[in-house]
């Protein structure tokens, strides 16, 4: 929900740890992370269907989904602390505001429109797979730099499970 708020004590504000650049997860050499990325991308591109092959559209959709999942996993691996803090903030936001988008989260965290924040794409997926949140629909973005693209609207699926997750990952709520 545009203009939504985070509860007291939630991550947010302008700058700080949420806007620092990280080279990769602790204990993983940047070169090793890059090597894994190149290898995974090469595999996915090699599996791409060629124009005119039977099943090209279905295979293309499946491959596109696999590429998206890979890209989001790489973003999460490169920014684990930022992604976890944003996941905590998103759950808190949704518990207070009922529904919202990653763009609402971006505003609540104080991330400027012009600041690249592709890593935010990795925030909702893990929470969705864990059954904590669910897509409640789509909404056009209101950020001019995003060209009115559709963004997912998220809602907490199980408030009790979300509260337990917050205790486990954020020390309470």
**pLDDT tens across the length of the chain (173 residues):** 455 656 555 554 444 444 334 444 445 455 665 666 666 656 655 555 556 565 666 777 788 888 888 888 888 888 899 899 999 999 999 999 999 998 899 999 999 988 888 888 889 988 998 999 999 999 998 888 878 889 999 999 999 999 999 999 987 54
* CA dist., res. 127 & res. 64, Å (int): 21
Say if residue 2 is exposed, middle or buried (CB neighbours under 10 Å; 0-12, 13-18, 19+).
exposed
CB of 113 within 8 A of CB of 21?
Answer: no
pTM: 0.66
Give every CB contact of residue 38 below 8 A, 6+ residues apart in sequence. Answer: none
- How far is 31 from 23, CA to CA, in rounded Å? 10
Kindly indicate whether the domain formed by 80-170 is annotated with CATH number 3.40.50.300: no
155 CA to centre of own chain: 14
Distance of alpha carbon 38 from the chain centroid: 21
Q: Which pLDDT belongs to residue 15?
A: 41
């Amino acid at each position: 929900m545009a203009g939504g708020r985070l509860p007291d004590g939630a991550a947010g504000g302008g700058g700080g740890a949420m806007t620092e650049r990280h080279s990769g997860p602790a204990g993983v050499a940047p070169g090793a992370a890059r090597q894994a990325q190149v290898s995974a991308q090469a595999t996915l591109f090699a599996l791409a269907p060629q124009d005119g092959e039977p099943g090209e559209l279905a295979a293309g959709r499946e491959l596109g989904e696999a590429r998206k999942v890979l890209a989001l996993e790489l973003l999460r691996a490169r920014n684990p602390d930022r992604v976890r803090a944003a996941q905590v903030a998103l759950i808190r936001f949704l518990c207070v505001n009922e529904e919202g988008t990653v763009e609402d989260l971006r505003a609540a965290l104080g991330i400027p429109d012009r600041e690249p924040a592709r890593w935010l794409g990795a925030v909702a997926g893990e929470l969705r797979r864990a059954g904590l949140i669910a897509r409640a629909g789509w909404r056009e973005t209101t950020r001019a730099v995003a060209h009115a693209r559709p963004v997912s609207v998220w809602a907490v699926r199980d408030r009790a499970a979300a509260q337990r997750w917050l205790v486990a990952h954020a020390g309470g709520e």
